[in-house]
Structure 1
Amino acid sequence: MAGLVVLRAMAVAAPAVFSPILLKEEGNSGLVAAAAVALFQAAGMAGTLAAGWISDRTGRSAVLLFGSIAGPAGLLLFTALEGWIRFPFLALAGAATVSMHPVCMALVQETFPESRGLANALYLSTVFVVSSGAAVVVGVLGDGIGLHSAFVVSALITVLSVPLILALPEARRRR
């Protein structure tokens, strides 16, 4: 689970923290840059509501797999395209990656039913620390190789979570 948290954090940190800078560097207005963050977060909120309901019916692993594939795909397309056509892909990235957080939390609580409070506290503290570190890593990458390339690296790193999801206890039970 810790590996999944680390890899997911990269896909969330890039657009949540750095999409305004990327868009401003491309010559967009501050309003467009702010709207992009709002879009990413609003789509993440909607995705979270949908993912909880869907994961209760299809299983946690299915939703996590979708998020680990659709989120990076959305981020890659947002980075590759220009103009307004790219913003639906930013919304897809938000819906897919942000929605993974509560699904992971539910999975942690189901995995440790006798110690839900402790498990949840450990999970959340890991998320907070790793998310902060991921923002620093994306920032360093952005300074070194450019923000476009940092977004691509972040998306590709997130795809590495697929084998970790398949190794989760729930995924193994469903095979």
Structure 2
Amino acid sequence: MLAAKTKTNNNTTPEQNTLYGILFIIGICHMLNDSIQAIIPAMFPILEKSMGLTFTQLGLISFALQVVSSVMQPVVGWYTDKKSMPYALPVGLTFTFFGVIGLSFAPTFTTIILSVLCIGIGSAVFHPEGSRVAYMAAGSRRGLAQSIYQVGGNSGQALAPVITALILVPLGQFGAIWFSLVAALAVGLLFYIARWYSQTLQKTVLIKKSKKSSTTSTQNSKAIKIALLMIVFIVFARSWYMSSMTNFYSFYIIEKYQYSISQSQVYIFIFLATGALGTFFGGPLADKFGKRNVILLSLLGSAPLAILLPFVGPYVAYGLVAVIGFILLSSFSVTVVYAQELLPGKIGTMSGLIVGLAFGMGAIGSIAIGSLADAIGLTSTIITMGFLPVLGILAFLLPSDKKLNEWNQI
């Protein structure tokens, strides 16, 4: 474990070398956690047929998972900013373990909801604390560290269509039981991370922001609030578009191209897999060219392609979903780091807020998009959602990276 000289105005970690071993392990745990979450939307086509669920009910299942995470994540982050709880990580994934078992045996819509609530609790605990671990191990390469952490999660999400095609289609709902083994593996790895986390806290004096830095933040509180509001709108646009793609685009493919469930999942896999690549490269690009620039280009760059997507043929769609996924998700980890540097004394709170906000927006989006699809049709809904990335223009209102550095005396 690397101890280091305490020279920082943040309340999380002193300057140190980037600890790639810790980052890769927490990234793997993120992949395992999010692959478990991914089985829920991956099961939608199966549950629709076996239980006769409507699009609105499917949206409610997604809502049950995501709203718990969105509400609890900033609360967990706020609490652990005040009182460190390294072993909350494996405890949280234990909830997920029991949720997966419940999901595989759930006989009714109500028991499915209860099971995904348990999975949501595990996610709510894992994400802000996992992001804090990435921050502690980052050294001076915060963008890269957050990308390694987040790309694990995006890779887990990208496994959803593979899970559907190889496990859930042949085995049905009960196939989810295999993911209890995934949860158990994650719990084991997180005990190792928690031990490192605890030892690092014992060796390190965690310093709150200096008085001068605090005064600077107070003087710029209005600008910070406006910037956070813009981040909220940007996360809204990205999350709702993501929700339309991951939860409902497969139905659009089946309806428009007359494809099977397995064939439709290929598009979602491509979208999420290239999104994982975009997440990884977004952090280093932000370290080099600026976080605001990456946030701006990720949404505005994907907007014209997202608008075009519903009108192309099945083969062109393969290429478009790949490029959209890469560009759009390049800002995912960058948005978290940007928020952390807006309020550097509240790492857990900002991590929980931004990632939790993404879950929450996606939860609301799942219900709204599902209801819209029931009301006006799937095709019209997918076309409408394609215009959401245009809201990325709001990134022009964000303070530049240079301004953030001036505020925080970095």
C-alpha contact 1:52 1:102 (8 A) present in aligned 2: yes
TM-score by structure 2 length?
A: 0.40
The one-letter code matched in structure 2 to 1:127 is A
Between 1 and 2, higher relative CO (CA 8 Å, sep ≥ 6) is seen in: 1
Classify the secondary structure of the residue corresponding to 1:169: coil
Classify the secondary structure of the residue corresponding to 2:358: helix
The one-letter code matched in structure 1 to 2:239 is A
Shift of 1:146: 2.2
Shift of 1:12: 0.9
1:75-114 matches, within 5 Å, as: 75-114=306-345
Q: What residue number does 1:8 align with?
A: 238
Q: What residue number does 2:117 align with?
A: none
C-alpha contact 1:40 1:93 (8 A) present in aligned 2: yes
The one-letter code matched in structure 1 to 2:312 is L
Q: Deviations over 1:63-122 (max 9, x none)?
A: 112211222322222211012111111111211222222110010111111111221122
User: Aligned partners of 2:370, 2:329: CA distance in 1, in Å?
Assistant: 19
Q: What residue number does 1:170 align with?
A: 400
C-alpha contact 2:237 2:389 (8 A) present in aligned 1: yes
C-alpha contact 1:75 1:151 (8 A) present in aligned 2: no
Q: What residue number does 1:18 align with?
A: 248
- Structure with the larger helix share: 1
C-alpha contact 1:73 1:93 (8 A) present in aligned 2: no
Q: What residue number does 2:355 align with?
A: 124
C-alpha contact 2:239 2:362 (8 A) present in aligned 1: yes
Alpha carbon RMSD of aligned pairs, Å?
Answer: 1.9
C-alpha contact 1:8 1:68 (8 A) present in aligned 2: yes
The answer to whether residue 290 in structure 2 is matched with residue 59 in structure 1 is yes
In structure 1, which of residues 153, 158, 162 is the aligned counterpart of residue 389 of structure 2? 158
Question: Which moves more between the two structures, 148-157 or 25-34?
Answer: 148-157
User: Aligned partners of 2:366, 2:402: CA distance in 1, in Å?
Assistant: 32
TM-score by structure 1 length?
A: 0.90
The one-letter code matched in structure 2 to 1:65 is L
Classify the secondary structure of the residue corresponding to 2:313: coil
Q: Structure 2 regions of 5+ residues with no counterpart?
A: 1-230, 405-410
Q: Deviations over 1:17-76 (max 9, x none)?
A: 111100111211222201111111101001111111111111112111221122232222
User: Aligned partners of 1:69, 1:122: CA distance in 2, in Å?
Assistant: 23
Q: Structure 1 regions of 5+ residues with no counterpart?
A: none
Shift of 1:173: 4.5
The one-letter code matched in structure 1 to 2:286 is S
The answer to whether residue 261 in structure 2 is matched with residue 30 in structure 1 is yes
Q: What residue number does 1:45 align with?
A: 276
Q: How many residues align?
A: 173
User: Aligned partners of 1:168, 1:140: CA distance in 2, in Å?
Assistant: 33
Question: Which moves more between the two structures, 132-141 or 48-57?
Answer: 132-141
Question: Which moves more between the two structures, 91-100 or 54-63?
Answer: 91-100
Shift of 1:124: 2.0
Q: What residue number does 1:73 align with?
A: 304
C-alpha contact 1:76 1:151 (8 A) present in aligned 2: no
User: Aligned partners of 1:99, 1:135: CA distance in 2, in Å?
Assistant: 22
User: Aligned partners of 1:41, 1:72: CA distance in 2, in Å?
Assistant: 17
C-alpha contact 1:109 1:120 (8 A) present in aligned 2: yes
User: Aligned partners of 1:78, 1:6: CA distance in 2, in Å?
Assistant: 20
In structure 2, which of residues 375, 380, 389 is the aligned counterpart of residue 149 of structure 1? 380
C-alpha contact 1:79 1:152 (8 A) present in aligned 2: yes
Higher Cα Rg, which structure: 2
C-alpha contact 2:239 2:359 (8 A) present in aligned 1: no
